[in-house]
Chains A and B, each alone.
Chain A
């Protein structure tokens, strides 16, 4: 379950200090005995003191250390005393190579930590009451733990820097920054976007974008991973809750909300529950109590996406393999993740023809609500306010893209993150975990299991495979995969590749009759697919495609900008770690299995939509107008 941490391109000095344990791990010298606070433990050579202490259950405070990131050793809060060593050592960056005796809370250590905290606070401007991280802040927690009762080195009374609100998604308030460089390592190592780094040195150090430009004008992809890893409130999402409350309070407005699968699997964490408990149906009740007029399931449009994207894939295959028309080349890339969309627009614009033109589920739903639903309910679309509950900060940027107005109005008015929704619910005094359950509203109803798994990495691919196999082969997916679990595409490895032989061909289903005559041309073919998550892994795959490697032979590749997929998104509850993401994934997959209908093309609401509204079928004229989009070649030059 370990996610690969990419450190190839980090400078040698910033790479994790690991000493190879040798071929035989039990061989003499491969393990070393270390004594921490009088407790002895045998650990492999190269284990850090922090890891050894964790194994013993001894807590050492940390700020710059993070499970997803490489070692930095910059905050010094984790210093410990080593017998025989002149100075205190940072335990996160000290590999054990010989038997040592460590004290984690001697007088010297306690005093050093207290001074470090006091120094951090002397440059940390802001009031805890007026901070969105109040009660969820690592600096605040440490100040409490170490009994900070006065500011030894002072406390700033005026801000140092202006707050950068230029981005639709991420707000940077450098007054609260403690220079732990987690955002820097996230942006450079984990995501390979490279927006943030430290300028100047020593006392003048500051985390900046290129030439200290505004975040809205550099190549930020809005993934928000930096928000999830910031220990303080220096980075936060652009919060539209006031506008949403205003819309709810306006009696003329019909406010509808759609909820994505990942927030439902994680929102419990904001209410003190363990990660991995989905609150889907409790959340529906809570949203109605908040005052939303209708609560819809984004999975409906996830199913719609699968139909559109799957059809586009089949058309692309036909064009490329039979007709030899390469205007829309293979492999086809998924387009559900707005962070990924912006990444390819910036860094690989030459590969944009590979992108599926299908919109993301959020935007498809917006377009459908303001056209089909408005007509059906007899509501003027200008009075409808569409809100989307998403695990994502990039969705805030996506709904503000100028091309996302195909219904004639702004398709999605506001994007809310999981954290902001939890805030609204607690503001309304609702006890979410103990609410009665209630279902989603008609006419879109409760969707399918395929829609749910969109939240996990490999989920879009799994949903697409379920539908494509059934539509093309005419057999039930359960015949090939037990309980419809397409295991080859599941997991947390950064890059995955799978091949799937089509066992037979079936009759063309009614839905696709207008597009293809028969499946003869695809008979005996092997579907090659790829899955990757985190844009650092996306970079590997794209470089491989450009070099003509394994992935250039693929037919369909799923990309998600965030590590772990949407469930690890930039709008999810803080903190995040590989274990938390794995727990959320378990919640999502178990919810999938509890559904009656688990394949997108069997969703009755989707079938009805194609019969009544999108009458010329998937990838037809109406669907192209409402459900498909185009991309912008942005390039990475920062003007």
Chain B
């Protein structure tokens, strides 16, 4: 039997929600699950979650837009979040930021055309003694210097081979 991707996503969400009690408190775990697996939460996924929890799609959208780590639009394979709070600012965040922009050719808030990198600011990452701090997906880098930026990006590019591209395209919903 042919199963469309939407049907598959729906049943996946349904199973996940059941495992987590099937009520409103399963909302955030479900969204985190989708975010992790598909890198973003599509319009359809939000409505499917709402259906499962018997709440309204707009409430799910409200939650997704509230949290910076949940996205309703696709982002790059690597989301780079640079800390912009005062300790990192004083340790030379601006130089790191300029280096990132130059290396990637994009501004903060943008994604590279090949879909590899997204550049964002984050508020305090809790590494105030080791600033400037930077988060690449789940990995934290401390005491970042403009020289290190180049190495970090290079490391990402090496991971970001054919396999990574394929995985992302497969799951565009």
Residues of chain A having any CB pair with chain B under 8 Å: 9, 11, 188, 193-201, 208-211, 218, 637-638
Task: Give the docked Cα–Cα distance between A11 and B66 (Å).
Answer: 16
Q: B140: shortest Cβ distance to chain A, in Å?
A: 23
23 chain-A/chain-B pairs, Cβ below 8 angstroms:
A188-B56, A188-B59, A194-B56, A194-B58, A194-B59, A195-B58, A196-B58, A197-B59, A197-B62, A198-B62, A199-B61, A199-B62, A199-B65, A200-B66, A208-B58, A210-B61, A211-B61, A211-B72, A218-B58, A637-B47, A638-B43, A638-B47, A638-B57
Contacts beyond the supplied A199-B62, A209-B58, A210-B57: 4 A-B pairs with Cβ under 8 Å:
A9-B55, A194-B58, A196-B58, A211-B43
CB < 8 Å neighbour of B58 from A11, A197, A201: A197
Interface size classification for chain B: 10 to 19
Task: Give the docked Cα–Cα distance between A197 and B66 (Å).
Answer: 11
What 8 pairs across the A-B complex have the smallest Cβ distances?
A194-B56, A197-B62, A199-B65, A197-B58, A210-B58, A210-B57, A201-B66, A200-B65
Q: B92: shortest Cβ distance to chain A, in Å?
A: 27
- Chain B residues whose CB sits within 8 angstroms of the CB of A201 once the complex forms: 66
Task: Give the docked Cα–Cα distance between A565 and B16 (Å).
Answer: 41
Closest chain B residue to A200 by CB distance?
Answer: B65
Task: Give the docked Cα–Cα distance between A9 and B56 (Å).
Answer: 11
Q: B96: shortest Cβ distance to chain A, in Å?
A: 25
- Chain A residues whose CB sits within 8 angstroms of the CB of B62 once the complex forms: 197-199
**B24: Cβ under 8 A from any A Cβ:** yes
**B101: Cβ under 8 A from any A Cβ:** no
Task: Give the docked Cα–Cα distance between A394 and B79 (Å).
Answer: 45
- Chain B residues whose CB sits within 8 angstroms of the CB of A198 once the complex forms: 62
Interface of A is mostly: loop
Task: Give the docked Cα–Cα distance between A196 and B61 (Å).
Answer: 10
Interface residues of B in 81-138 (CB under 8 A from A): none
CB < 8 Å neighbour of B55 from A194, A199, A200: A194
CB < 8 Å neighbour of B61 from A188, A193, A197: A197
- Chain A residues whose CB sits within 8 angstroms of the CB of B57 once the complex forms: 194, 210, 638
Task: Give the docked Cα–Cα distance between A194 and B46 (Å).
Answer: 14
Closest chain A residue to B24 by CB distance?
Answer: A11
- Chain A residues whose CB sits within 8 angstroms of the CB of B46 once the complex forms: 210
Task: Give the docked Cα–Cα distance between A93 and B158 (Å).
Answer: 55
What string of 1s and 0s marks CB contacts (under 8 Å) between B60-84 and chain A?
Answer: 0110011000001000000000000
**B54: Cβ under 8 A from any A Cβ:** yes
- Chain B residues whose CB sits within 8 angstroms of the CB of A193 once the complex forms: 56
Q: A224: shortest Cβ distance to chain B, in Å?
A: 18
Q: B168: shortest Cβ distance to chain A, in Å?
A: 22
Contact present for B54 and A9 (CB under 8 Å): yes
Q: A223: shortest Cβ distance to chain B, in Å?
A: 15
Task: Give the docked Cα–Cα distance between A333 and B117 (Å).
Answer: 55
Q: A299: shortest Cβ distance to chain B, in Å?
A: 36
Q: B84: shortest Cβ distance to chain A, in Å?
A: 15
Closest chain B residue to A206 by CB distance?
Answer: B65
What string of 1s and 0s marks CB contacts (under 8 Å) between B25-62 and chain A?
Answer: 00000000000000000010011000000111111011
Task: Give the docked Cα–Cα distance between A209 and B65 (Å).
Answer: 12
- CB within 8 Å for A197 and B72 given contacts A211-B43, A638-B43: no
Task: Give the docked Cα–Cα distance between A208 and B58 (Å).
Answer: 8
Q: A528: shortest Cβ distance to chain B, in Å?
A: 28
Task: Give the docked Cα–Cα distance between A198 and B59 (Å).
Answer: 8
Task: Give the docked Cα–Cα distance between A638 and B46 (Å).
Answer: 11
- CB within 8 Å for A197 and B56 given contacts A211-B43, A638-B47: yes
Most buried by B among A201, A210, A638: A210
CB < 8 Å neighbour of B24 from A9, A210, A218: A9
- Chain B residues whose CB sits within 8 angstroms of the CB of A208 once the complex forms: 58, 61
Closest chain A residue to B55 by CB distance?
Answer: A9
- Chain B residues whose CB sits within 8 angstroms of the CB of A637 once the complex forms: 47
Q: B72: shortest Cβ distance to chain A, in Å?
A: 7
Q: A612: shortest Cβ distance to chain B, in Å?
A: 49
Q: B90: shortest Cβ distance to chain A, in Å?
A: 24
Q: A128: shortest Cβ distance to chain B, in Å?
A: 30
- Chain A residues whose CB sits within 8 angstroms of the CB of B66 once the complex forms: 199-201
- Chain B residues whose CB sits within 8 angstroms of the CB of A196 once the complex forms: 58
- Chain A residues whose CB sits within 8 angstroms of the CB of B59 once the complex forms: 188, 194, 197
Task: Give the docked Cα–Cα distance between A574 and B25 (Å).
Answer: 37
Closest chain A residue to B43 by CB distance?
Answer: A211
Closest chain A residue to B50 by CB distance?
Answer: A194
Task: Give the docked Cα–Cα distance between A201 and B68 (Å).
Answer: 10
Q: A164: shortest Cβ distance to chain B, in Å?
A: 15
Task: Give the docked Cα–Cα distance between A193 and B58 (Å).
Answer: 10
Closest chain B residue to A218 by CB distance?
Answer: B58
- Chain A residues whose CB sits within 8 angstroms of the CB of B61 once the complex forms: 197, 199, 208, 210-211
Q: A491: shortest Cβ distance to chain B, in Å?
A: 28
- Chain B residues whose CB sits within 8 angstroms of the CB of A195 once the complex forms: 56, 58
Task: Give the docked Cα–Cα distance between A73 and B88 (Å).
Answer: 36
Task: Give the docked Cα–Cα distance between A211 and B24 (Å).
Answer: 20
Q: B170: shortest Cβ distance to chain A, in Å?
A: 23
- Chain B residues whose CB sits within 8 angstroms of the CB of A194 once the complex forms: 55-59
- Chain B residues whose CB sits within 8 angstroms of the CB of A218 once the complex forms: 58
Task: Give the docked Cα–Cα distance between A211 and B57 (Å).
Answer: 9
Task: Give the docked Cα–Cα distance between A230 and B170 (Å).
Answer: 45
Q: A535: shortest Cβ distance to chain B, in Å?
A: 12
Closest chain B residue to A202 by CB distance?
Answer: B66
Task: Give the docked Cα–Cα distance between A242 and B102 (Å).
Answer: 57
Task: Give the docked Cα–Cα distance between A201 and B67 (Å).
Answer: 8
- Chain A residues whose CB sits within 8 angstroms of the CB of B72 once the complex forms: 211
Closest chain A residue to B68 by CB distance?
Answer: A201
- Chain A residues whose CB sits within 8 angstroms of the CB of B24 once the complex forms: 9, 11
Q: B114: shortest Cβ distance to chain A, in Å?
A: 26
